[in-house]
Structure 1
Amino acid sequence: MLPPSSAVFLAASLLAALPVQADGLYTKKSPVLQVTSKNYDQLIAQSNHTSIVEFYAPWCGHCQNLKPAYEKAAKNLDGLAKVAAINCDEDANKPICGQMGVRGFPTLKIVTPGKKPGKPRVEDYQGARTAKAIVEAVVDRIPNHVRRLTDPDLEDWLASTTGDVATPKAILFTEKGTTSALIRALAIDFLGAVQVAQVRSKETAAVERFGVTAFPTVVLVPAGGTEQDAIVYDGELKKAPLVAFLSQVAAPNPDPAPVPPKKKKADKEEKQAAQPDDAKAEEESPKPAPAAPVPAPPIELLTTPEALAAACLAPKSGTCVLALLPGEQQQEQTEPEPESSAAQVALASLAEVAHKHALHKSKLFPLYGVPATNGAAKALRAALALAEQDLEIVAVNGRRGWWRKYDPAEADYSVERVDAWVDAIRLGEGSKQKLPEGVIVEETQEDEKPVVAAEHDEL
């Protein structure tokens, strides 16, 4: 066994060897764009590009599991859409996380540009947490500003203007009928500067007019020009060289959107001086104090074997979470002894988790406390091979016949850890064990009324 000083040194060395993360879960070298409350509007809301944003907390196990797939999606969507993340554990970011209605981690939202600048459409991503599924969902939502031309449309489109000003035009000649994410992203980059169109190979008049012999082919027509002035692209069909090619005739739109200049201090002072006294008095009046948060009510205690059986151990019982309290919790929970602090923290954390879901009106299976005075507690501990005097938190499902134990790291019963564990059960993640024979109490009479409702919706 190492002496204490050596153990501390070894732990410090191991921690020092771990990679340092610049902003929570993602490093500065990550392909995932790291966003804050301050720059969300500039980078995401004001952007012409579609974005997917992950709202996460570094301690969240599901967020850590998602990271590899999310970074892979970011690499695949590079140049096509934005893949961003916001650390909701940072105090400065909590306003934007609350504003976006984040209720758990990770929350993924797809942000699509709207008709009005700065007013995007935001929707929850409900698909699979894989790189392929994320990429497909985002690509489907990339706006399409590419005009699909036929032979009869070509002449009018070439002669069209933006207002009274002739604009450059880019045409993709292709054998495909669909518009790729690449050409859609290119049109977004040059929106308002270069008109982009797509012509299918079967439009023979247009193909012959521009002398196209191979597909795909991209041609660029300068403002006011004709097919005689067209420039044929001979590079790779990749985003960066295509942007450089179109930049010959027009500059791409800046992204992120430019930040408007701040007003000068003198202008601000003049505006304040011009305000009437009553307006100043109104501004200086103290704001009402924010309403105090409603405390979480304690979770229900199942004090009798009948209550425990009816609530969680019946054949039709859904998922229940049970905090099996140690012996010192037999008395009322007021003024606990020092040795019962872990149980008190666990009960408080479970209460906070239940309260959070109640406030958000989201479904959650019931959470109960089971004191040691409940005669069935000892039998349940024995059946599950749990220590008699330790605090234990377990999830059981009588209908499906499984159970799962909470494994605290260094007696960590914090709200964050307990919430993550409960969330994993809700999502069906993690391993489960089969309930031993005899744990589920068989019903003796069909018309017997349970003490506590036995049916719970399992999420």
Structure 2
Amino acid sequence: MRTATALVAALLPAAQAMYPKNSPVLRVDAGSYKRLIAQSNYTSLVEFYAPWCGHCQNLKPAFEKAASDLQGLAKVAAMDCDAEENKAFCSSMGIQGFPTLKTVRPSTKPGGKPVVEDYQGGRTAGAMVQATADKINNHVVRLSDKDLDKFLARDKPKFILFTNKGTTSALLRSIAIDFLDQVVVGQIRDRETEAVEKYGIDKFPTFVLFPGKDSSGPIKYDGEVKKNKLVEFLAQVAQPNPDPAPVTESDKKKKKSKSDDKKKAASDEKTKDTKEPSDETTTTTREKETAKPAMEITPITAIKDKDTLEQKCLQTKSYTCVLALVPSEASDQGDKAIASLSQLNSKYLHGKRHLFPFFSVASDVDGTAHLRQSLKLGSGVELIVVNARRGWWRRFEGDDMGVEAVEGWIDAIRMGEGQKKTLPEGVVVEAAKEEEEGAKAEKGDKEAEKGDKEEAKAEDKDEKVDDAAEEPKIVHEEL
């Protein structure tokens, strides 16, 4: 029998060699996570592991392969949760077993928190690459003949991809992130014949750089379609954004200023405690503390019966619907999901944005059990989006159903990003002619149609629905 000492000695080399410095996997710890991952411009796939974990060792080859394939497109990182300095951080991230994988996607709002989700896909390199690539933020502008001139009138340099593809590749999205606020990146289809003929495009894909108003004219790129080569080409008009951003003297001064302000505030607070506030001071304080009126929250509609569920979302002519499938009994997670959708619903209504409708459906509503079973969903809280007319659906992945995470998911749907799954047979029902005509007259369905059209702008008409069983595509070949 092997002694405990011998066992530890056998495991030690594996622990030390888990992800060496020359590995394509970025090593992070509790101290560097915020700077390298949370504040990064890039989407990240992070593995939380323990060196003694056999499953972690088994995952290593595929994880390193994914890191190599995503080089320059997204970050692939790992944190040793067995290290003493990382234990508290791993616990705060909800890590309970190894390996645990999470995707971290930058907020689409300046200064917003990143969206962190559990990765629940396959453990092959291809599956991890595709899932991570799908979550890369999209800053690429979709163009057509009618809006190209307006786009080119911008002051900043423009970089346009002429393509016969309807989707926006991970490579192009990563270029847009590299040069965000430096170069405006656009994409235009081959069927926009006026633009194609004007700039002499005779093959696809073709990249064209428009350096600016004072330049001699557009420049075609004729090099390899590789990230480093494209970055070198664009360096003639702008330098890529550093990631993570370096700490500037201004940042240091701000940090010191905040520290000094805190000390001064603490000192002032002690002084205030020894003084009796005057009527004038009290009145002024009350005026300052008067909050601005909060936005009125418009709750989402709760579907109460099978007929309404089918009419709104599951008929052959139904447009896109977001459904919160919740247990019939009240639950914290269910309440959180509904509250997030209600807040977003109110935001879109107040902003006069026509988006697809949101509904909640309790588990005791007739027809939901069949829907859950058909989509292979559990009995807990689920957020899904369904488009019966086009025959696809998507599921919200992750446990955080807060407003920001849900909004990021909805934005991705609206932009046509991410993988769609085919609706199983038996989910979509045929609508009676009278019901279809009645539904068209309803205001709610008109709003749904407008929202669906907004979403359709981001999708190619010829694009096929992705099947869950389909082999992952190679992200470098999507141009």
- Name the SS for the 1:123 alignment partner: strand
Kindly indicate whether the alpha-carbon contact (under 8 Å) linking 2:69 and 2:129 is maintained by their aligned counterparts in 1: yes
Q: 1:21 is matched with which residue: 11, 16, 20?
A: 16
Checking the alignment, whether the CA contact within 8 Å between 1:45 and 1:118 is kept in structure 2 is: no
Structure 1 residue 123 displacement after superposition? 0.5
TM-score by length of 1: 0.53
The match for 1:143 is: 137
Q: How big is each residue's C-alpha offset from its partner over 1:297-337, in whole Å with a ceiling of 9 and x where there is no partner?
A: xxxxxxxxxxxxxxxxxxxxxxxxxxxxxxxxxxxxxxxxx
Kindly provide the CA deviation profile for residues 158-207 of structure 1, in whole angstroms up to 9, marking residues without a partner as x: 113xxxxx111000111222111111110111111111011111211101
CA separation in 2, counterparts of 1:148 and 1:74? Answer: 29
Q: Does 1:256 align with 2:251?
A: no
1:194-209 maps to which residues of 2 (within 5 A)? 194-209=183-198
Structure 2 partner of 1:242: 230
Query: Distance in 2 between the 1:17 and 1:37 partners?
Result: 22
Q: 1:249 to 1:269 in 2, by over 3 A?
A: closer
1:20 touches 1:27 (CA, 8 Å); kept in 2?
A: no
Letter in 1 for 2:241: N
Match 2:161 to one of 150, 172, 185:
172
Contact 2:11 2:52 (C-alpha < 8 Å) held by counterparts: no
Q: Could you tell me which amino acid in structure 2 is paired with residue 69 of structure 1?
A: A
Cα deviation for residue 108 of structure 1 reads 0.3
User: CA 1:158–1:270 in 2, change beyond 3 Å: closer, same or farther?
Assistant: closer
Distance 1:225 1:172, change over 3 A: farther
Corresponding position of 1:124: 118
| TM-superposed deviation, 1:262 | 3.7
Distance 1:63 1:19, change over 3 A: closer
Report the RMSD for the aligned CA atoms in angstroms.
Answer: 3.2
| Equivalences for residues 350-365 of structure 1 within 5 A | none
Structure 2: how far apart are the matches of 1:266 and 1:192? 28
Distance in 1, matches of 2:139 and 2:214, equals 21
- For 1:82 and 1:176, locate their aligned partners in 2 and report how far apart those are by CA, in whole Å: 25
SS at match of 2:209: strand
Cα 1:58–1:277, aligned 2, differ >3 Å: closer, same or farther? Answer: same
Query: Is 1:63 aligned with 2:56?
Result: yes
CA distance in 2, matches of 1:175, 1:86: 40
Question: Which residue, out of 47, 51, 57, partners 2:44?
Answer: 51
CA 94–259 in structure 1, closer or farther in 2 if over 3 Å, else same: farther
Larger radius of gyration: 1
Residues of 2 paired with 1:242 and 1:207: CA distance? 21
Unaligned 5+ runs, structure 2: 274-479
Partner of 1:276: 267
- 1:130 partner letter: T
Are residues 1:192 and 2:181 paired? yes
Match of 2:359 in 1: none
Instruction: Tell me if 1:214 matches 2:203.
Output: yes
**In the alignment, residue 21 of structure 2 is paired with which amino acid?**
K
Cα 1:42/1:200, change in 2 over 3 Å: same
Cα distance, 1:19 vs structure 2: 7.8
What is the match of residue 108 of structure 1?
A: 101
Aligned residues: 266
Once the two structures are superposed, residues 359-381 of structure 1 have per-residue CA deviations (whole angstroms, 9 ceiling, x without a partner) of xxxxxxxxxxxxxxxxxxxxxxx
Report if the CA contact (8 A) 2:15-2:51 is conserved: no
Q: How far, CA to CA, are the matches of 2:147 and 2:265 in structure 1? A: 58
Q: Distance in 2 between matches of 1:204 and 1:65?
A: 51
Superposition TM-score, scaled by structure 2 size: 0.51
Q: Which residue of 1 aligns with 2:70?
A: 77
Amino acid at match of 2:229: P
Amino acid at match of 2:47: E
Aligned-partner SS, 1:105? coil
Give 1:406's aligned residue: none
> What's 2:92 paired with?
99
Preserved CA contact (<8 Å) 2:44 2:76:
yes
**1:219–1:210 Cα change, 3 Å:** same
CA–CA separation in structure 1 for the residues paired with 2:29 and 2:53: 18
**1:95 shift after superposition:** 2.6
1:415-448: CA deviation from partner (whole Å, max 9, x where unpaired): xxxxxxxxxxxxxxxxxxxxxxxxxxxxxxxxxx
1:29-40 matched pairs, under 5 angstroms: 29-40=22-33
Runs (5+) with no aligned partner, structure 1 = 1-7, 161-165, 283-459
**Cα distance, 1:21 vs. partner?**
3.1
CA distance in 2, matches of 1:17, 1:92: 19
Shift of 1:115: 2.2
* Shift of residue 225, structure 1, vs aligned partner: 5.5
* Matched-pair contact (CA < 8 Å) for 1:41–1:118: no
